[in-house]
Chain A
Amino acid sequence: MAWVALAAVVVVTLAIVAWPSGGKPSQAQRVQSVSSELRCPDCESQSIAQSSTETARAARADIRTRVAAGQSDAEIRQAYIDKFGPSILLKPESGGLGILVWGLPAAALVLGAGGLVLALRRWRREPHLHPTDADRELVQSARPR
């Protein structure tokens, strides 16, 4: 019963976290979101959304134009990959080799959790041993008088 309750808590928590907030994102939200995923081309470790360089400002304006023209987020990302290469993405791609970066830790986590559950269940199944009279006698005889 405790396991079912625990599983329910986990599922509900994940659902709350993963549930999309609000409805369809506005154009401004999409510009912000895509800009946050792309690395500023001429500065270190900042996104286009964060950077104040002239090129980053130009990129934000370009993304705004592309969103208004009806391009999808994936199309905009691809346009920037075509121009700058995959390193323009702040996070690794979720396909190709990039899937290893995301997939392997998740697989290890799932397998580790599975193993832990099995181990806990096995420990629960094991009988609780109580000392017999023979055990008590053995302990008494071993104690110094």
Chain B
Amino acid sequence: MKHRARWIALAAGLVVTVFAVVLATQVGTDPRADANKSHLLGANAPSVDLPTLDGARLRTSDLAGKVVIVNFWNSWCIPCQEEHRALADFYGRHAGDPGFVMVGIVRDDTDDAVRRYVANEGVPYPVALDPGARASLEFGTRGQPETYAISPDGVITGTRFGPSSVANLEQLLAAARGQR
């Protein structure tokens, strides 16, 4: 008690030092690092019911028992255009497998632009529209392209943010089949 001011100064100095250490250790770390990965990994895939480009419906409930690859994309996104060939090639490898489904869900684009892109570039797998961006929100997407692999029991087993190669897609597929 005799040197109360000194003790308080010491405590204040200690607090400032701890704060400085905390800040110093955080320098160089990305506070949004968790934005580069999906937090739905291991969770049940969101249930969606979307119109497809050809007038049908895409319902996740109809896909139970199959391995599903979902690719969020749009026509104006350059990385989506860059991965287009890999997606088409990958789909071509597995299209004959009755236990395999692949679907592209359009994110943040107009129907007309998507139809033009599909007509010009040729997208061999079903394309679903996402009016109101409900599916984009439910999957926790932060942009496009993003690719999700769903196991036959409806669990998200793999995700990839950014353009995928055929090898990346094969890895996602293997994980969804439990072959990782």
Contact = CB atoms under 8 A, between A and B. Distances in A.
Interface in B34-82: 34-35, 37, 39-40
Contact of B34 (A42, A85, A112): A85
Contacts of A86: 34
A45 to B, nearest CB: 10
Interface in B16-38: 16, 18-19, 22, 31-35, 37
Interface stretch (A27-35, A57-65, A68-76): A57-65
Given A55-B136, A57-B133, A104-B22, A83 B16 contact: no
A104 B22 CA distance: 10
Interface stretch (A12-20, A113-121, A124-132, A136-144): A113-121
B5 A107 contact: no
B15 A42 contact: no
Nearest to A61: B132
Give the size range of A's interface with the partner. 20 to 34
B137 A59 contact: yes
Interface string A92-121: 000000001100110110011011001100
Contacts of B11: 111
Central interface residue in B37, B136, B142, by most chain A CB within 10 Å:
B142
A62 B12 CA distance: 45
B4 A118 contact: yes
Given A85-B39, A87-B31, A87-B34, A111 B12 contact: yes
A55 B133 contact: yes
Contact of A87 (B18, B22, B32, B132): B32
A82 B16 CA distance: 33
Nearest to B11: A111
A54 interface: yes
A82 B44 CA distance: 12
Contacts of A122: 5
A42 B134 contact: no
B167 interface: no
Contacts of B107: 54
A107 B15 contact: yes
Contacts of B40: 83
A115 B143 CA distance: 51
Contact of B16 (A100, A108, A114, A119): A108
A83 B133 contact: no
Interface of B: 4-5, 8-9, 11-12, 15-16, 18-19, 22, 31-35, 37, 39-40, 107-108, 132-134, 136-138, 140-143
9 contacts: A41-B137, A42-B108, A54-B132, A54-B136, A58-B137, A85-B39, A87-B32, A107-B15, A111-B15
Given A55-B141, A87-B31, 19 more contacts: A41-B140, A41-B141, A54-B107, A54-B136, A55-B108, A57-B132, A58-B137, A62-B134, A84-B35, A85-B37, A86-B34, A87-B35, A100-B18, A104-B15, A104-B16, A104-B19, A108-B19, A111-B8, A118-B4
